[in-house]
Structure 1
Amino acid sequence: MVDVLVIGGGPVGLFMAALLLQQGVSVRILEQRTDAEPHSRAIGIHPPSLDALQGIGVSPDLVGEGVPIRRGLAVGGGRMLAEMSFAGVSDSFPFVLSLPQARTAAILEDRVRQLDPAALHRGVRVTKLNDDGCQVTVDAAAGGGEVRYTAAFAVAADGVRSTIRPQLGVPVRAKDYPDRYLMGDFADTTGYGPDAALFLESEGIVESFPLPGNLRRWVLRLAASGTGGDARWLGQQIRERTGIDVDPASNSMLSSFGVRSRLAGRMITGRTVLIGDAAHEISPIGGQGMNLGWLDAAALAPVVLASLHGAHVGTALRTFERGRMAAAARAARQSEINMALGRPLPAGPWSVRNRALAAAASVHAVNGFVARRFTMR
């Protein structure tokens, strides 16, 4: 019997566990994978998340390894359209931090192990969850056998393919989008340094973000019927749309992805709470998904602590659920705007859109508003 079971040992589950462990709560993290995930789709850490992560003392380590992006540039047709500064979005972290998810997760796992070396259980696949109103019992397969855990609360942070969500009978509002993207990491030869660049071209957007180690991530919006190609093909597309050469031989990651949204009808079922992608999957464009999960955890932790200390938290849990579901819906709408901005356009509408964007960005108040929205402020 422990206080809290966290199901899922990704960045969100690890953060949730660390928040509770440092308050003396007994926690077990049940993670199906036997080894840490080596691939990194998510790279952006927004200022509100860095504020929250500072609560477990890891923000200095993250900032020390990552690239602070203090400015975003919009480029179209070979000319600068707009510049957006993040200087005013936060007093403590006036930037978006670029750091591969694998390193972020490793830093969070190190913090968990500092707090309790026995907290993380890898190779544990949850098969059944039962809530009798007083405690949660979880049956799992591990090491060729069966194991049972019990806890006062369970927090499901087991991602977009959550096995807990269907067990709880939680309905999901699903939407699939036609957009597809191909992304890859290459040696940075652009001269943009720590700046992000969005190339708003008529064939579709190309996004470019700095990474540690003098690397740069490129994200290409594919044509409606496109399936992408290898690193050489991606390099050719980048050059055709932006005029920038990348070296295919320097490619270290290549991945294509489609876009969908999944918003759970509720986050709380009895003594089990869904957070992160288990509760809300949104488009990766804009980099909000992992950040939403961290902010879920930061909002949930004090409610769980209060309950473990004997408080009645029914109202607090409902307030948490309403607030976080509203935040997920806002993020989903923002991601739709981001995707719409990057879709292909005929030459005439493309030119009108870019001129309108440049005019709007020249207005200080509009520029600041967009910067706050982009950084989840």
Structure 2
Amino acid sequence: MNLPARTDVLISGAGPAGLAAAIALAEAGIDFVLLDRQAEGANTSRACVIHARTLEVLAELGVTERLKELGVVVPTFTVRDGATVLARVPFGGLPTAYPYTLMVPQDRTEAVLLQRLREAGGDVHRPYEVTAVAGDDTGVTVTTTGGTVRAKYVIGADGMHSTVRDQAGIGFTGASYGESFVLADVRMSWPLDREEVSLHLSPEGVTVVAPLPGADDRYRLVATVASAVEKPGIEDIQSIVDNRGPEGARSRVTEVLWSSRFRVHHRVADRYRAGRILLAGDAAHVHSPAGGQGMNTGIQDAVVLGRLLARVVAGSPDTLLDTYEQTRRPVATGVVAFTDRMTRLATLRPRPARLLRNTVMKLAFGLPPVRSKMAYQLAELAAR
């Protein structure tokens, strides 16, 4: 697809956040250009958790029921240390039409969003990479590997290493965790119920195991390790589940369907807006995968921003866009703080500290209000 010379809104990045923003604009009849540097289909499963608030937002875009057909409904979150269950958090009592977590690999989520975008008359321009962004009082000139586009507004949804954010001169404050994270989709025998996502604490690091759609032996595993190989294999994953899984229950990894190694940061953009340039998704915030909230927060950002931009392009005051940062940045800072606490508590190494943590958690999560509060926070319902 050739790039037009002008548009109302240019979106850089066609991940879940960029696609969601584009759908919101398309439904409002706003002209936009959605760019991505990847060829179509060059994505991977990556994020796979969709929480209740995101399902509510995606229902407004007409895609939640489609995703449910492709996913696994998981109604419970547990925290374990070996054979001990420290917390069991059910989602069933949440005040929402979607009282559960939905497990869907990100590539399928993106495929559903892309299909919906095309139904709304939009599409993605590929492969075009943004190389320069220059804004002024009347618009933004965006230089790409395939030409230059003049837009009234630009959304940077181009990930943690956002060119749009860098070109806009917006800082990205935070730090990185010392450990590596292993991310893998595997086939394995697993002793726990497929109706739960389990977070396992151990001196070696935190591990999350969640069921994936398809065969009953498909699972997503996320784990911190001191230093991971680039593409973890069966032996690497087997070692993790042997050392950190439920005690006395043998789990056997039979196939690694996909795996990766990555570093995790906890950062939030200093601003979400620089004139006519705005940020969404990982370009605005990144954090630990504990709780599975990254993609969720990004999709919610994008729909809010897309609808605000639609109103401004249609004639509402430009100052309306200031409400985007006012409402969404506090959500991101809260998620970053929450997932950071979870990660640091999960990776305590001194035995006395672990024993104290476990005792406090068991006592606290024995109380229904504490369980309800955790379920509400994980589901991101406070972001309504």
Whichever residue aligns with residue 125 of structure 2, its letter is H
Structure 2 counterpart of 1:330, from 323, 327, 334: 334
Q: Is the 8 A contact 1:303 1:313 kept in 2?
A: no
Q: Is the 8 A contact 2:201 2:244 kept in 1?
A: no
Please give the secondary structure, in 1, of the residue aligned with 2:73: strand
Aligned to 2:194: 193
Distance 2:167 2:311 in 1: 27
Structure 2 counterpart of 1:347, from 332, 346, 351: 351
Q: Is the 8 A contact 1:153 1:272 kept in 2?
A: yes
Unaligned runs of 5+ in 1: none
Distance 1:221 1:245 in 2: 21
Q: Is the 8 A contact 1:70 1:194 kept in 2?
A: yes
Q: Does 1:23 align with 2:24?
A: no
Q: Does 1:241 align with 2:244?
A: yes
Please give the secondary structure, in 2, of the residue aligned with 1:139: strand
Aligned to 2:3: none
Q: Does 1:107 align with 2:108?
A: no
1:103-132, Cα deviation, whole Å (9 max, x unpaired): 001111111111125x31011122222323
Q: Compare 248-257 and 56-65 and name the one that shifted more.
A: 248-257
Q: 1:199 to 1:129 in 2, by over 3 A?
A: closer
**Superposition deviation, residue 160 in structure 1:** 0.9
Q: Does 1:4 align with 2:4?
A: no
Q: 1:351 to 1:10 in 2, by over 3 A?
A: same
Structure 2 counterpart of 1:364, from 357, 362, 368: 368
**Superposition deviation, residue 333 in structure 1:** 0.2
**Superposition deviation, residue 163 in structure 1:** 0.8
Aligned to 1:125: 129
Q: 1:284 to 1:73 in 2, by over 3 A?
A: closer
Please give the secondary structure, in 1, of the residue aligned with 2:114: helix
RMSD (CA atoms):
1.8
Whichever residue aligns with residue 216 of structure 1, its letter is Y
Q: Does 1:273 align with 2:274?
A: no
Q: Does 1:166 align with 2:170?
A: no
Aligned to 1:54: 59
**Superposition deviation, residue 238 in structure 1:** 0.9
Distance 1:373 1:272 in 2: 30
**Superposition deviation, residue 71 in structure 1:** 0.5
**Superposition deviation, residue 201 in structure 1:** 2.8
How many residues are treated as equivalent by the alignment?
Answer: 369
Give the TM-score taking structure 1 as reference length: 0.92
Distance 1:181 1:161 in 2: 18
Whichever residue aligns with residue 161 of structure 1, its letter is H
**Superposition deviation, residue 351 in structure 1:** 2.5
Q: Is the 8 A contact 1:47 1:90 kept in 2?
A: no
Q: Is the 8 A contact 2:234 2:255 kept in 1?
A: no
Q: 1:365 to 1:134 in 2, by over 3 A?
A: same
Distance 1:301 1:259 in 2: 27
Q: Is the 8 A contact 1:221 1:342 kept in 2?
A: no
1:145-179, Cα deviation, whole Å (9 max, x unpaired): xx222222211111111111111111221312223
**Superposition deviation, residue 188 in structure 1:** 4.4
Whichever residue aligns with residue 376 of structure 2, its letter is R
Q: Is the 8 A contact 1:306 1:313 kept in 2?
A: no
Distance 1:348 1:174 in 2: 29
